[in-house]
Amino acid sequence: MNQYEIAVLYDPGLEVDLSKGEERVKKIIAENKGEIISTDNWGKRKLAYQIKHNDFAVYVFYMVKLLPENVIKVESALNITDEVIRFLITKPDLKAIAKAEKEKQIKASRINKDDSEKDQEEA
């Protein structure tokens, strides 16, 4: 199974009751032998341009594990789902993500080290 990120833009009218749309997407993924690893809901945001006469959409990102041959089936199902106004399926660069996390930890440790040195100088 490969890991994919699915960005889904839901109809802004679903902001109050997003569970209906999310359940439908989760069902599509499950029916295609997929597994949702994580979900990141960004909420309602303004679109760069109108999509299906909407200026806003609810952004939700899913990290999923899917068989490569089932990606096309998920795309076909999302295309005809009424709650979804746009989606994008990408394969994340896991090496780049790991490298960014490592650099973030190094930077945080440097900041903590600098702060502790300043505290020692002040004492």
Domain ranges in the chain are 2-92, 93-123
pLDDT tens, 57-74? Answer: 999 999 999 999 999 999
Instruction: Output the pTM of the full model.
Output: 0.75
Burial 62-94 (b: 16+ CB within 10 A, else e): bebebeeebbebbeebbeebebbbebebeeeee
CATH class, 2-92 region: alpha beta
Instruction: Tell me: pLDDT of 106 over 90.
Output: no
pLDDT in tens, 1-60: 889 999 999 988 877 788 888 999 999 999 999 999 999 999 899 999 999 899 999 999
Q: Are the C-beta atoms of 10 and 58 separated by less than 8 Å?
A: yes
Question: Scanning the structure block, which residue is given the tokens 């780049």?
Answer: 96
Q: Give the mean model confidence (pLDDT) for residues 76-83.
A: 90
